[in-house]
Structures are given as structure tokens and as C-alpha cells.
Amino acid sequence: MSDIRIQGLSKYYIEPKSQTGIVALDNIHLQIPAKQITWIQGPSGCGKTTLLKILAGLLPPDEGQIYLGQVDITNQPANLRSMALVTQNYTLYPHMTIFDNIAYPLKQAKTPVEEIKQRVNDIASWFNLEILLSRKPKVLSGGQQQKVAIARALIKFPDIILMDEPFANLDTPNALHLLSIIRTLQAQTHATLVIVSHHIDHLTVSGDFLVEMDNGEMIRTTSIGDTDV
């Protein structure tokens, strides 16, 4: 796994009503370290979601490049990137059981049935979802649904995991619990994790990387060391 290098990335939108231009990302330069957790913080509207969508290949940038190591992946289709994006307004498939929701990416990839069972059961046990596997999403709490959405994103063990406000609907104890599961998984799989969050004060630890954005610009990066915690 290699660092993600973002060079001169810009993205513009047209505001539909007024037809005025919006600079969502303004010449971002950033290196996201491999196999670590990077936190992206900044006020609402500063471009965090836009950045994640461009990294995931779901939105083309207007200017700039993204490299994985030495490889330019700017125009690589999303399905060829070993990346998973957990969106802010994640949607589970309401008519499917929790098992089938988590298994969905593996079924799409035509994974053998026995392997699907094994992998879904493994990841369900990490997230304490075992007893919920036969249920439908609507009977789960918001926190449980969030865990299912994350389990579904992780089921193919992507190299890079992008999470947009994964703790937004959780209280602090539940956020900390979910983060401890995510950290354990990250330590085992050595994935590169990028997490957008408003509430990072209690969540970061030594070894994490912090990116602060404002108004489409990257204003500061900090490697969190022992002295900062």
C-alpha cells in the first residue's frame, strides 16, 4: 500500500438556482499516509464530502491529479479502485436482511456462497451484529444501521476506506465503541483510513494524521504525536 498524493485538486460547481459558480475545492495539495488513520475536519460546506467523492472516483475533479504511490489514478473508474466509501446518508436495502445487505458486494463479485457465509459471519462478529443478521434494517437502531453500512463497505477488505461523518448520529459512548472496532479492523488489515468528522477531539490518538480544511482549502496538517494526547 502506498500514500495517496493529491496535487493541485480543484472542483467547481454551478449553484442551480442562482447559476453562480462555487469553488468547492481550491488547489488542494495533500499527502495521505498509507496504513494510518487520517481525520479530515472543517466547517460545513468546506468541501470534505466533495474531496471524498473525488478520491473514491465518484466525481471527476476539474483540475489536479491523484496518485497512489507513483500511479496516476485520477481517471481510474471507481470499480477498479480498491476503495470503499461509507457515505453520510448511507442507505441499506430495506427489503433485504442484514446478512444480504452485508453480503451484497460479495454477491456482485460472484464470490462462492460458502465464502460469503464465512466472511459475513466473521465481520458480523467484529461488529456484534450476529443476532441481527436475519432481521431487516427498519428494526435496527441508527447506531446498528451505521455498523451494518460500515461492515458492508469493509466486506471486500478494500485497501482504502473513506468514511463521511460515520459518527454523526451517535452519542459519544457509541461513537467511541464504533471507533474502537474500526481501529481494531484497521490494525489487522493495514487499510488506509480517511475519516471525515466534526467531533475529533476525543477520537484521535498518537499516530493519527489530521487535516484541517476551510472554504475549499487545506489550511493545516498535523501528525498527532505522543505529546499531543
* Residues that bind ligand ADP in the complex, under the rule CB under 6 A: 13, 15, 22, 24, 42, 44-50
Tell whether the torsion through CA atoms of 191, 119, 175 and 136 is positive or negative: positive
Secondary structure class of 24 (helix, strand, coil): strand
Phi, psi of 62 (to 5 degrees): -85, -30
State the helix-helix crossing angle for 142-154 and 98-108, rounded to 10 degrees.
20
> Residue 46 binds which entry of ligand ADP, Mg ion, none, with Cβ cut-offs from 5 to 8 Å by kind?
ligand ADP
Strand pairing class (63-68; 21-32): unpaired
> Residue 44 binds which entry of Mg ion, ligand ADP, none, with Cβ cut-offs from 5 to 8 Å by kind?
ligand ADP
> Residue 50 binds which entry of Mg ion, ligand ADP, none, with Cβ cut-offs from 5 to 8 Å by kind?
ligand ADP
Q: Distance between CA atoms of 3 and 67, rounded to whole angstroms?
A: 8
Burial 40-71 (b: 16+ CB within 10 A, else e): bbbeeebbbbbbbbbbbbebebeebebbbeee
Q: Distance between CA atoms of 207 and 224, rounded to whole angstroms?
A: 6
Q: How far is the CB of 41 from ligand ADP (least distance, A)?
A: 10
Q: How far is the CB of 168 from Mg ion (least distance, A)?
A: 9
Contact between 49 and Mg ion by CB under 5 A: the answer reads yes
Contact between 197 and Mg ion by CB under 5 A: the answer reads no
Contact between 50 and Mg ion by CB under 5 A: the answer reads no
Nearest to Mg ion of 48, 152 (CB atom): 48
Phi, psi of 175 (to 5 degrees): -65, -45
Nearest to ligand ADP of 22, 210 (CB atom): 22
Nearest to Mg ion of 103, 162 (CB atom): 162
Nearest to ligand ADP of 42, 158 (CB atom): 42
> Residue 13 binds which entry of Mg ion, ligand ADP, none, with Cβ cut-offs from 5 to 8 Å by kind?
ligand ADP
Q: Which residues bind Mg ion (CB under 5 A)?
A: 48-49
